[in-house]
Amino acid sequence: MRTGAVRRARDAALAAVAFAGLLSTGVSAGAEEPDGPDGGAKAVGGSGVAEVFDQNTALDGRQNNACGFFSSSAGSLFDGLSEAGCETIDQSHSVDASSTADGAEAVGGDDAVYQQNFAEEGRQNNICGNTNSALDSPGEMKADCAARDTSKNKGTVTDNGGAQATGGESSFYQQNLAQEGRQNNACGNTNDSTVSGETDADCVALDSSKNKGTVTDNGGAQATGGDGDGVSILNEQNLAQEGRQNNACGNTNNSGVPGSTEADCVALDSSKNKGTVTHNGGAQATGGDGLGAAQQNLAQEGRQNNACGNTNNSGVLGSTEADCVALDSSKNKGTVTHNGGAQATGGDSAATLIQQNIAQEGRQNNACGNTSGLSLDSGRMNVQCSAVDESTDVKSRPHHK
């Protein structure tokens, strides 16, 4: 594993804003909404018999980072190189500010062969470097995704209506990602991809924010896969994350990798929280039904849950590596957290069904490096998963349904 390289890449990523970086250094004091609540961001794909490619992205909130994802770059990377560098840095100061959003919703159209639907709501959610059906790629695909939060927040109120990503019906290759909350890191996930060269994803979320007397209400993140046409195999990946710094990264579904694929996923929490209240409505990942299905459904709710480096129905002729790290050195005093429940529900199939369903709720749950229906052939798989809790909690109360 590239431990030293991971650290250098992480430090370099956090040192400066590279490529498509976003920097927030604003100050909000007693901010009010000028025209009432945000109506919500919606991206809805059309339907059509001849529709092939469908990509729908809805972002609602602050510094959500949907960057560098590829929807069906089939045959387009024979000898090429595709790179994405995506970074958000939040250095803002907010006092007695309020924010209300009705929800981000991405809905795929019906009868699309290749479909990608992303919905992000909240703050600094990082959807970056995801590939959907990128076939026949002898070149390289790289993604460097970083979210850094050094903000200071006092007496703020945030109400998120819910992020929903819903796949259309009869769409064979489908990727639906919904994230709600703060610094959730869905990055470097591949669905039905063949990479003859190399695919490399470095995903970093660093939280060193200071929060006092804040109130956050999340309505629920939902990723729902559409049903197949009853004739073809349904390749589907549904990820729903709600809360803070949940790390669904480097998961592969129905992917053949003759070359090598590497994912380095890091979530570092050194935040300070006093008298904060957080309510999560529930994360739900639901798979669609089909004649046959290779399906991966991941739902995470809470803080620093680490579903990373999981492989479902993939053949690896070369090598696949995942390095997944969650480090919590936060300090929490008098905080209250309510979680509504994480649910991962697989779809039904009348024929072959290769399915992986993972639901995690709470803090630092480490579902990492699990394989389902994996054929290594002459290759190898190496996954390292670590969750380190050095946090300090004084009179803090978690509540789970």
HEC string of the chain?
CCHHHHHHHHHHHHHCCCCEEEEECCEEECCCCECECECCCEEECCCCCCCCEEEEEEEEEECCEEECCEECCCCCCCCCEEEEEEEEEECCEEECCEEEECCEEEECCCCCCEEEEEEEEEECCEEECCEECCCCECCEEEEEEEEEECCEEECCEEEECCEEEECCCCCCEEEEEEEEEECCEEECCEECCEECCEEEEEEEEEECCEEECCEEEECCEEEECCCCCCCCEEEEEEEEEEEECCCCECCEECCECCCEEEEEEEEEECCEEECCEEEECCEEEECCCECEEEEEEEEEEEECCCCECCEECCECCCEEEEEEEEEECCEEECCEEEECCEEEECCCECCCEEEEEEEEEEECCCCECCEECCECCCCEEEEEEEEEECCEEECCEEEEC
C-alpha 84/C-alpha 227 separation (Å) is: 31
- Which residues lie below 8 Å from residue 165, measured CB to CB, with a gap of 6+? 105, 106, 117, 118, 119, 176, 177, 178, 222, 223, 224, 238, 240
Q: Are 279 and 220 within 8 A, CB to CB?
A: no
pTM for the predicted model, two decimal places: 0.84
Q: What's residue 329's pLDDT? A: 96
Q: What's residue 385's pLDDT? A: 86
C-alpha 233/C-alpha 236 separation (Å) is: 10
Q: What's residue 49's pLDDT? A: 57
Q: What's residue 297's pLDDT? A: 93
| Residue 394: CB atoms within 10 Å | 10
Q: What's residue 72's pLDDT? A: 55
For the chain, residues with pLDDT lower than 70 are 1-39, 46, 48-52, 68-82, 134-139, 399-401
Q: What's residue 41's pLDDT? A: 73
Q: What's residue 80's pLDDT? A: 61
Q: Are 246 and 183 within 8 A, CB to CB?
A: no
Picking from 120, 117, 101, the residue whose alpha carbon sits closest to that of residue 109 is 117
